[in-house]
Structure 1
Amino acid sequence: MRSAPLSHLATHEVSNQPEVRGDIDLWTSDPVLRETAALAGAQTQTLADYGCTMGRSEMREAGREANANPPRLELFDRGGRRLDEVRFHPDYHRLMEASQSAGYAAIAWEGQPGGHATHAAMVYLASQVEPGHCCPMTMTYAAIPALSADSAIAADWRPKLMARCYDPTVTPIGEKRAATLGMAMTEKQSGSDVRANSTIARRDRDHWRLKGHKWFCSAPMSDGFLTLAQAPGGLTCFLLPRWLEGERNAIHLMRLKDKLGNKANASSEVEFHDALAYQLGGEGDGVRTIIEMVHHTRLDTAMAPAGLMRAALAEAHHWVQHRSTFQRRLIDQPLMRAVLADLVLDWEGSLTLGLRVAQAFDSNDPADRAFARIGVALAKFLANKRCPVVVVEAMEVLGGMGYVEETGLPLLYREAPLNGIWEGSGNVICLDILRSLARDPLAAEKLKAELVAARGADARYDAALTEHAARWPALPPEAEARWYAERTAHMLTASLLIRKGPAAVADMYTATRLAGDSGRIPGAIAAGEVGGVLARLGGT
C-alpha cells in the first residue's frame, strides 16, 4: 500500500510559541518599581508617564533600530574641511527627544522633592529599552553640580543642560535650545590613575588652550566636555565647548571605539590641538572638582544593571508563561520556578538598594549625604556583579531562542558588563569603599545604623550581622576588599528587604544570600514555596 503524499502537509504552522508582547507599560507592569519608587519619595506620576511612553512597541523598535544602525564618524566634508562629527540613526534622536523631554537629565535639579530618586528610576526604565542613549544624558545630569565651581560658567550652561528638550544642532551654546555635556578623562597610559594624565593646559588670556590625547571620550557629539589637564598649578578641571562662534573648537575625533555593546552610543578617541577651554574650580583641584560628577554618574551605573535585569527577566517570564514542554507550562515546573525566583532576588535587591541610595542623594541631612557616598559604591558593585549572571540565565531559559537577536537578550548580554567598568571597575570601587569608610566616620556610622536597623526581625540576619562584625572588627586588608564589599552589600540589601520589602522576598534573600542555604549557581536553592517571589515579576 502506497503512503499518502506529503505535499499537502503544512510546513510552517506556529504553535507553542509566545505571541509578540506588543505595548508594555513599564510602570504598571512592575510592582517592585512602583513600591520602591514610592518608598524613595520619587515623583510617581512622572514615572508612570515615562514608563508608558518607553514601553510602547514603537519605542522598543526604535531602540533596536538605533543598535542595528550604529553611529558613524565623518571627519571631513566633501571639500576636505574638518567636520569631526558623528551621524546617528533617526531613531537614536527619537529616543533622546523622548527621554530628555521627560526630564531624564533635568529632574533632579528642578527643586522638586524626590528628584534624584525619580531620575534614578528613569535610568532603570530607559535601560530596559535602549541603554546606549542613556550615556550623554547621564553625563549631563552628573555634570550639573560640578559647574557650581564657577558661577559664570554655570549661568551660561546650566539653563541649557536643564532644558526639557533635545537639540542636536551643530551650533554654539548661546544659540541652542538645550545642550548635553560629556566627559573626557581617560588617557591610554593612566586609566583610572587620572593624576598621571599628560594633557597640557597653557593660559591664553581669560581662557586656556589644551593639547593632548584622550583614550575615551563619552558621547563625542555633546556640546561640551569636562576634562582634566596639567596646568602649571597641577591637575585642573576644564570645560571644553564643542562649538565656538564662527568656528569649531580644535577637538579632533580620531576614531570611534568598536565596542562589545552600547552600540547606539558613540564613544571615541579625541585629540585636543590647542582647544579652547575654561577653568572649572581651582588650579590643581581637578580631581576634587570633577569627583562630584563621578559621584552622580555612579548612581546611574548602579541603577542601569537593575533595569537590564528587569528586561531580561521580563522576556524569560513571558516565555515560560506561554511555552509548554512535556505537557506542562514551563512556569509550572518546580526547577524552572526555583531558577526564576533566585534571579528575582538579584533584580529586586538591586532595585531596592539603588533607590534607597537615590533617596539619600535627595536629602540635605549630612548623615544621608554620607550614606549616599558609601551606599552608591556598594550598590554599584553588587548590582553589576549580579547583572551578567541574571542575563545569561534568562537567555538560557529561552534555550536557543535566547541567543537570537530578535528576543533582545543578546543586546542585554552585551550591555551587562559595561556599568561595572564605567566610573570605576570592581577593584577601584572596592578600594574606594575602604577609603570612604576610613576617611568619613559619618559614612561608617550611617552604614552601621542601616545594618543594625533590621536586627531582631530574623535570627539568620542577626547571626550574619554578628559574624560580619566578628570577621571585620575594623576595615579589612586590601586583599579582602571584594569579599567585604560583597558581604556588606548583601547585608545592606537584606536589611532593606526585611524592613520594607515583602516577607517572601526578604525571607528567601536572607536564606540564600546570608545564611548559606543555597549553592553558588542560580536556582541551586531549597526553593519550597516560591510563589510570593515570582509574583514580583508582575504583568511581564
Structure 2
Amino acid sequence: MTANAAGPVSCYPTHHVLNQPPPRVDVNEFLENTPLVEYLHTIGEAEETTTTAAGTQALGTPSLEATGAVVGSAQFQEDARLAHKNPPLLHTHSKYGQRIDEVEYHPSYHRIIAQAVAAGAHTSAWADPGKGANALRAAQFMLFAQVEPGHACPISMSHAAVESIAVAPDLAGEWLPRLYSRRYVPELTPDKPGALVGMAMTEKQGGSDVRANSTRAVSDGDHHLLTGHKWFCSAPMSDAFLVLAQDDAGLGCFLVPRVLPDGARNTFLLQRLKDKAGNRSNASAEVEFANTAGWRIGDPGRGVRAIMGMVGQTRLDCVLGTAAGMRQSVAEAVWHARHRHAFGARLIDQPAMTNVLADLALEAEAATAVGLRLARAFDNDAGTSERAFRRLATAVTKYWVCKRGPNHAYEAMECLGGNGYIEDFPLAMRYREQPVMAIWEGTGNVIALDVLRAMATEPESVEAFVAELRLASGAHPVFDDFAARLKEEVAPIRSTPQDFAGQARTVVEKLALALQASLLLRFAPAAVSDAFVVSRMGEGRTFNYGTLPASADLAGILARA
C-alpha cells in the first residue's frame, strides 16, 4: 500500500475508483431545494421575522437554512443510516422480571428526533400561529423527513394531536404546553418538560373501519378504564396516545398517558413490534389495555368526530412526507447523473436520462407546491371557504401524491443503476418507505370513497375547490379543457355518490391533477407548468416517468433540481 495526502491508495490499479460521484454530503438541503424556497413564500405565504443587531425586523428563513445545513451534514446522514440499520428493540420485562414495556432505540434515532423537536418540526405552527405558520412548519418537517423518515411519525402525530386535545380544556391545559416545548426527553418520566403524542386506533377485526372497534371503556371517577387490543400503535414510547374505545354512549376518544399523574406507569402491555417492509427506524406495536386509565376527549359517543382533526392533519403530513421523499430521490438521482459518465457523455446529458430526471423533478415540484398550498389552508386565519377547500383538497391530494411516491422512488433508484439497489445508498430505503404514506391514514379506496362522501355531504367543499381551480383559468388551453370536462363529470356525483364508487379513483386522480396544474400555472416558471399540463392532461398523457413531450424545456426543469 502507498499513501498520499488524500489517504491510503491501493497499489493495485483495479482498486482505483473512477467515474463514481463524490459523496453528496455537507450541502444545505433547504437552499438547494429551489421549489421549496420559492413556494414557501409564494404559495405558503410564509416569512420568518428576525431581529437584527440594530433592533430592526428582517424577513428571511434563518431557521430553515440552519435545518438545511443540519440535515445535509455528513453526521445527520450517518445518523439516518444507523437508525435504519439498528431498528428498535422491544423489552417487555426487566432483567429482574418486572413488566416494563419499553422500546429501545439506537442513540442516532434520539439525536435525530431531538433536532427535529428543537427546530419545531412538530408543533411550531400551533405554538406560534399566524399567516404562513403551517408552511414554515411544513418545510421544517419536510427537511428532516427527506433524510430520515422514520422519526417523522411521532413528529407528525404530535402536531396533529393538538387539534383533538384542544377540545378538552382540562387536558389541553396540562398537555399542550408540553407538546409546544422544544425539549426532547426520551425517558418515560413524570413531569417531563416536553411530550410527544401517538395514536392507537385500529384493531385487527376492523382496520380502517374504526367503528368496529371492540376495546371497552368503563367510567371510573374522572377517567375511564380501557380494556382491549390495538393492532397498530404508532411510536409506542410516546408520552400519551389518542385511543378509540366503546362505552355505553358509543365510540369515544380517550387520551391514554404512559405515566399517570401520581408518577406510576399506566398499564400499557406491548405484545410485539411489527416487522414492517419499511419505516424501520420507527417502532409500530401491538398493545393490550387492561384497566388502562384514559381521559375522555370530546362528547360521549362522538369519538370519530373528536379525532377527525388529527386525521386531517396527518393526511397532510402524508403528502408532505411523500414530497420530502420525492425530493431526496431527485436530489440523489440528479447528483449521480451529473457526476457519472457513460457512452461518451455525462448521464444527465444523455437524452433518455435527461427526460427521466426532468420528469421526476417535475413530479416532486408539483407535490411540494400542493403540499404548501394545503399547509396554508390550515393556518389559523383560514375562513369558511378555506376550511371547506382543505376538507376536500387534503383527501384528494393525499390519495394522488402518495400513490405516486413508490414508483417515483423506484424510477430514481434505477437512475443509479446497481448502486441504487444497494443499501449503502439511501434510495433503497426510500423505495421501502414511500408506500407507508399511501397506506397510513387511509388506503387508496378509503380516501377515494371519503372524497365522494365529502362531495355529497359538504357541497361547499366542491365549490371552494372549483373556485381554486378557476384562479388559473385562461393560463393554458389544455388546462381549461381538462377543468371544464372535470366540472361536468363531478356534477352528478354530488347527488348520487354511491353510483360512482367504482370510478372513485379516476375522479380523485383528475381532481388532484387539476389542483396541481392550477398551482403550477400560477406560481411556477413556464418550463415547469407547461410540461406538467401537457404531459399530465394532454391527449398523449402517460404516467410512466421519462415520457415528457419533445416540446418540454427539460433543461429549465432540471435547473431547479
Tell me which interval the TM-score lies in, with the shorter structure as reference length.
over 0.9
Q: Which of 364, 367, 385 pairs up with 2:403?
A: 385
Preserved contact between residue 108 and residue 118 of structure 1 (Cα < 8 Å): yes
Shift of 1:170: 1.8
- Cα distance in 2, alignment partners of residues 333 and 419 from structure 1: 33
- Cα distance in 2, alignment partners of residues 436 and 211 from structure 1: 33
Preserved contact between residue 395 and residue 403 of structure 1 (Cα < 8 Å): yes
1:492 alignment partner in structure 2: 515
- Cα distance in 1, alignment partners of residues 121 and 542 from structure 2: 39
Q: Which of 397, 418, 424 pairs up with 1:406?
A: 424
Q: Which of 249, 254, 257 pairs up with 2:271?
A: 254
1:20 alignment partner in structure 2: 23
The aligned runs of 1:258-273 (5 Å cut-off) are 258-273=275-290
Preserved contact between residue 517 and residue 525 of structure 1 (Cα < 8 Å): no
1:32 alignment partner in structure 2: 35
2:559 alignment partner in structure 1: 535
- Cα distance in 1, alignment partners of residues 11 and 369 from structure 2: 56
Counterpart of 1:210 in 2: which secondary structure? strand
- Cα distance in 2, alignment partners of residues 394 and 260 from structure 1: 19
1:221 alignment partner in structure 2: 237
- Cα distance in 1, alignment partners of residues 114 and 339 from structure 2: 35
Q: TM-score, normalised by structure 1?
A: 0.96
Preserved contact between residue 217 and residue 268 of structure 1 (Cα < 8 Å): yes
Preserved contact between residue 143 and residue 324 of structure 2 (Cα < 8 Å): yes
The aligned runs of 1:106-505 (5 Å cut-off) are 106-113=123-130, 114-172=132-190, 175-244=191-260, 245-362=262-379, 363-475=381-493, 477-505=500-528
- Cα distance in 1, alignment partners of residues 76 and 105 from structure 2: 16
Counterpart of 1:247 in 2: which secondary structure? coil
Shift of 1:341: 1.2
Shift of 1:95: 0.4
- Cα distance in 2, alignment partners of residues 447 and 25 from structure 1: 35
Q: Percent identity?
A: 45
Give the gaps of 5 or more residues in structure 1: 1-6
- The amino acid across from 1:177 in the alignment is P
1:3 alignment partner in structure 2: none
Counterpart of 1:125 in 2: which secondary structure? helix
Counterpart of 1:243 in 2: which secondary structure? coil
Change in Cα spacing, 1:273 to 1:508, as seen in structure 2 (3 Å) is: same
Preserved contact between residue 122 and residue 141 of structure 2 (Cα < 8 Å): no
Change in Cα spacing, 1:282 to 1:89, as seen in structure 2 (3 Å) is: same
The aligned runs of 1:65-144 (5 Å cut-off) are 65-113=82-130, 114-144=132-162
Preserved contact between residue 536 and residue 542 of structure 2 (Cα < 8 Å): no
Shift of 1:441: 2.3
- Cα distance in 2, alignment partners of residues 501 and 214 from structure 1: 45
- Cα distance in 1, alignment partners of residues 539 and 78 from structure 2: 42
- Cα distance in 2, alignment partners of residues 186 and 101 from structure 1: 30
Preserved contact between residue 180 and residue 224 of structure 1 (Cα < 8 Å): yes
Shift of 1:9: 5.6
Counterpart of 1:229 in 2: which secondary structure? strand
Deviation digits for residues 283-308 of structure 1 (CA, Å, limit 9, x no counterpart): 10100101111111111001101110
Deviation digits for residues 262-313 of structure 1 (CA, Å, limit 9, x no counterpart): 1111100000010011111111010010111111111100110111011011
- The amino acid across from 2:558 in the alignment is L
Preserved contact between residue 536 and residue 543 of structure 2 (Cα < 8 Å): no
Preserved contact between residue 197 and residue 229 of structure 1 (Cα < 8 Å): yes
Deviation digits for residues 20-56 of structure 1 (CA, Å, limit 9, x no counterpart): 1121201111110000111112343332222222211
Shift of 1:364: 2.5
- Cα distance in 2, alignment partners of residues 485 and 239 from structure 1: 34
Preserved contact between residue 122 and residue 137 of structure 2 (Cα < 8 Å): yes
Counterpart of 2:157 in 1: which secondary structure? helix
Mean Cα displacement is larger for which, 383-392 or 180-189? 383-392
Change in Cα spacing, 1:93 to 1:200, as seen in structure 2 (3 Å) is: same
Shift of 1:517: 3.3
- Cα distance in 1, alignment partners of residues 210 and 363 from structure 2: 33
Shift of 1:178: 0.5
Counterpart of 1:208 in 2: which secondary structure? strand
2:75 pairs with 1:58: yes
Change in Cα spacing, 1:502 to 1:177, as seen in structure 2 (3 Å) is: same
Deviation digits for residues 57-96 of structure 1 (CA, Å, limit 9, x no counterpart): 1011101101101110011111111010001100100001
Shift of 1:142: 0.5
Preserved contact between residue 350 and residue 382 of structure 1 (Cα < 8 Å): no
Q: Which of 509, 525, 530 pairs up with 1:507?
A: 530
Counterpart of 1:269 in 2: which secondary structure? strand
Counterpart of 2:369 in 1: which secondary structure? helix
Deviation digits for residues 170-208 of structure 1 (CA, Å, limit 9, x no counterpart): 212xx1010111100000000111011000011111111
2:45 alignment partner in structure 1: 41
Deviation digits for residues 147-179 of structure 1 (CA, Å, limit 9, x no counterpart): 12211111111111110110112212xx10101
Mean Cα displacement is larger for which, 494-503 or 518-527? 518-527
Mean Cα displacement is larger for which, 317-326 or 338-347? 338-347
Preserved contact between residue 252 and residue 272 of structure 1 (Cα < 8 Å): yes
Mean Cα displacement is larger for which, 216-225 or 35-44? 35-44
Change in Cα spacing, 1:79 to 1:16, as seen in structure 2 (3 Å) is: same
Change in Cα spacing, 1:183 to 1:400, as seen in structure 2 (3 Å) is: same
Preserved contact between residue 338 and residue 527 of structure 1 (Cα < 8 Å): no
Give the gaps of 5 or more residues in structure 2: 1-9, 49-60
Preserved contact between residue 252 and residue 271 of structure 1 (Cα < 8 Å): yes
- The amino acid across from 1:25 in the alignment is N
- Cα distance in 1, alignment partners of residues 12 and 430 from structure 2: 38
